Structure 1
């Protein structure tokens, strides 16, 4: 395996300097009367300094480095096309290397380091309590799927009160020519947007990791950085380490989840500049850990322990990722290097594209796109109040605004074999149960954003005297098994049901009498909020081997 290079280049660093200033004229350029701003953090992606009383700063910068201001609370940077914050300057005098035949254009030569690099900030009001939108894996493969993203996800985010959004990567599915149209669409939300690079956002022709984000830098800026909003600090990381396009090598075209020493040092220096009680929010593409493939270095972050050790002395931390097209909650403790009083919460977010924009078409012409673990595609909302946080799941625009799906699973649903699983038969069989099959039937609940701390119970009116607590089961969602089986031709070739981390099961009482029964399922999610859903089941006198 080739050695992974640092994201900066190896040349002797120069010294960059100048001022962070109050852009009173909102022009982005310093004018007479625009004062410098003291005590603002500025970074080269590794080192961090604070501005002097007059707003001045200086930092070493090597070819390939990005210099950026870390937006402080109650200030904002200018906002560019698509809601992209303008807060950085790339130092790449010769631009993207010309000896690589890139499919998508990289960065133009930036020329020699200018004598002055000024960063503009503008005052803004920031409430202690605020919200942010969390997208991941928007991932359109072509122009048609980008239209799905527009209508199914972006349109649903318009009108939100969120202060900003973060896309956790795989913005595209390899076709980076779609970035410009994506940003044009995203800009309609009217809010700033931050982005983490994903493995499908790579310039795959690059021979190593250093030059794998040339198109990314042109549209989105630095590969990693930080910003503050109210009392919270947000850290954007690139934990996709590309092993390079090297024909003949066993690792050619592969990647692994790794933060790397440069970004770890950046986080270390950042934390040293922050009050101990601040909320720290980290965003990345590849999960720190995952239930689905816990030993796969392409699906987990191999140096996560180093990150957890840095965060261990902090009481208020949370991290988010995507990549898996599944929804997961993890609580990392000493086994993963986190020594804090409470485990570190790592949330793997629901993919906006779900099953990669595939599945049967819905009435509005957009694929159903349910994820392989049974969740609808959608996004999340992060709510912050001081150093406290919570999240909530928002299903896509075409999906009912539900937080759970409930049904009864048992032998009555499998009559006729897989070939008989047409949609109408599946629906009829969900809640119509032969009396002699009751003992083999279970209430199944998919709590779309559920996790280890979620509790689920059901009640049957006039039958159960108290709640029947259900058990979390690492199993495939039977509903999604049926949907995928009935629409194989509409799915992308790799899409198949996978064990879900948010399915609960509970055995039906054996004493259910023939007739209709009202079932109530209640769920208390990771934050203790209650969600509920009803269904009506019919117990019939027919035999379980009779046709539906």
Structure 2
């Protein structure tokens, strides 16, 4: 009898172990794949084609490297992407919308929430091996990209504004890729695939950041708030490289979920999930300290807008890198700044920030131009526009391109009572601005201050533009000379930024008025 119970116990124990091991094998299963140089362009890994060594692969949490054969193994995470970080001097195949094919969505379960807009369907079959073809892309040491804040299109009329009032200006620039810094839509997510079609006409790769108006607002929480964005564009955070630059797309929007009691969208806040910050830490471990890091986010990585714990984790991940540039949107104004101890940055590394305005300006409002497209001045008095980032062997510069104005239009100049005010759109508070009157060689040195731009105040008052007016720190002023003769005078503005670049602007004023 004892032998019988012992035998039954052993058999039951063996079954339990088998079930346990079987469950573990499902949990711990890996997906393998190859990153290879597609020499003949057939998107297949042929016997004579070489794998690429040392390429970063991620499941949006862990990061592994390919071996000398281009092979990798990584554990998939339900609902996450497996993606390849574009390696320096290589490019992926582009889809019909000119978007790089660098990712695979591992989703085996149906999302049961009603998210209102289309989302990805579960996989019917999980592929045994993933293949990511790349081809050589020489000359990346010098490259440039176009940076667009907030198109924020709520309907097809706004899409026409974008198509006819923004895209032609972008197309006139010679660039290697573009980045849209979030709020592509204005809660109406049917705009997202339409934007992708319109932007494809630029003929260059595009990368997009998740914005707070690009979310599935019906989601019960943050877990499924990005599903339509993911279906249309791919991963909501990832990295890629061009030349000596390591670019990182971040998702800085955390959603608290649909407010069922009142049938309305819930709140959101600026931050990064723990999983994303863990990925960021793992990603940057594999990036040499002498590569320039460029962070793209929607909500600025700034302690007033992003939660302090998130910001501290981001800063911790960056502490071994020498040169960093953070670019964002969200605010519908321009703000150029440097990170310092006041902003929580304790490191001596060069760390610069830019809030890049909005191509929709003040939400496509205000007086219209001859093409019936709103001028839509931004809330700080800067024109709607976009930036171009120029990169060369780890060094960079950026320029602002105002829409409907010549490139040289980098200032607004106003006379307020007996003072001259200069709104230098991309000026930092530490930059210097001088004014010369007529042929006078003696400069007036202007003082930086924070205030509201008089042009946008007048615009709102007289033209029924959206009444969001923001304080801005890129204003300078000085008193006009007491002995200035009545009449017309030519004002020349000379501004110098922290990199030594000079900017000129001109304005005719009338002291009789």
| Normalised TM-score (structure 2) | 0.91
The 3-state SS of whatever aligns with 1:120 is strand
Aligned counterparts of 1:74 and 1:103: Cα–Cα separation in 2: 41
User: Is 520-529 or 321-330 further displaced after alignment?
Assistant: 520-529
Match for 1:478 among 454, 459, 481? 454
CA contact (8 A) 1:159 1:189 kept: no
TM-superposed CA distance for 1:68, in Å, is 0.7
1:455 aligns with 2:448: no
| Contact in 2 for aligned 1:17/1:116 (Cα 8 Å) | yes
* 2:148 alignment partner, one of 135, 142, 152: 135
Report matched runs for 1:419-430 at 5 Å: none
For each residue in 1:117-147, what CA deviation from the matched residue of structure 2 results, as whole angstroms up to 9, or x when unmatched? Answer: 1111111113312111111101111101111
**Structure 1 position 32, deviation (Å):** 3.8
Structure 1 counterpart of 2:92: 77
Match of residue 410 from structure 2: 403
Give the C-alpha shift of residue 336 in structure 1: 3.8
Asked whether the 8 Å contact 1:256–1:301 carries over to 2, the reply is no
Q: CA deviation at 1:539?
A: 3.3
1:250 positional shift: 12
CA distance in 2, matches of 1:251, 1:222: 27
Deviations 1:428-468 (A, max 9, x none): xxxxxxxxxxxxx1111111111123211111135x55211
- Closer, same or farther: CA 66–159 of 1 in aligned 2, 3 Å: same
1:489-528 map, 5 Å: 491-492=465-466, 495-528=467-500
Partner of 1:443: 420
In 2, Cα distance between equivalents of 1:143 and 1:16: 41
Note if 1:54 corresponds to 2:69.
yes
Match of 1:18 among 33, 36, 43: 33
SS at match of 1:151: helix
Cα drift, residue 302 of structure 1: 5.4
- Taking only aligned residues, the RMSD between alpha carbons, in angstroms, comes to 2.0
Which residue matches 2:181?
168
Q: How far apart in 2 are the matches of 1:520 and 1:13?
A: 67
Answer with 185-194 or 155-164: which moved more.
155-164
Aligned 8 A contact 2:89 2:139 in 1: yes
Counterparts in 2 of 1:16-165, with a 5 A limit?
A: 16-95=31-110, 97=111, 99-165=112-178
Partner of 1:393: 400
State the partner residue of 1:320. Answer: 327
Alignment of 1:138-537 (within 5 A): 138-248=151-261, 253-289=266-302, 294=304, 303-396=310-403, 398-401=404-407, 402-410=409-417, 441-461=418-438, 466-488=442-464, 491-492=465-466, 495-537=467-509
Aligned counterparts of 2:356 and 2:61: Cα–Cα separation in 1: 28
**Does the Cα contact within 8 Å between 2:218 and 2:265 map onto a contact in 1?**
no
TM-score by length of 1: 0.85
Distance in 1, matches of 2:203 and 2:83, equals: 23
Distance change (3 Å), C-alpha of 1:263 and 1:105: same
Distance apart, 1:94 and its partner CA: 2.5
Q: Is the 8 A contact 2:414 2:454 kept in 1?
A: no
**Alignment-derived partner of residue 13 in structure 2:** none
Structure 1 pair 252–350 and aligned structure 2 pair: CA distance change class (3 A) = closer
For 2:371 and 2:63, locate their aligned partners in 1 and report how far apart those are by CA, in whole Å.
Answer: 50
Q: Deviations over 1:327-373 (max 9, x none)?
A: 11232223444232245212111111110111111112100110010
Contact 1:517/1:538 (8 A) holds in 2: yes
Return the offset for 1:407.
2.2
Structure 1 unaligned segments of length 5 or more: list them. 1-10, 411-440, 541-547
CA 509–302 in structure 1, closer or farther in 2 if over 3 Å, else same: farther
Return 511-520 or 190-199, whichever deviates more.
511-520
SS of the equivalent of 2:219 reads coil
Secondary structure class of the residue paired with 1:313: coil
Q: 1:347 to 1:158 in 2, by over 3 A?
A: same
Instruction: Check 1:451–1:196 CA distance in 2 against 1; reply closer, same or farther (3 A cut).
Output: same
Query: What CA deviation, in whole Å up to 9, does each residue of 1:47-66 have, x standing for no partner?
Result: 11111111111011121121
Task: Output the CA distance in 1 between the equivalents of 2:248 and 2:231.
Answer: 20
Partners of 2:113 and 2:140 in 1: CA distance: 47
Distance 1:335 1:521 in 2: 30
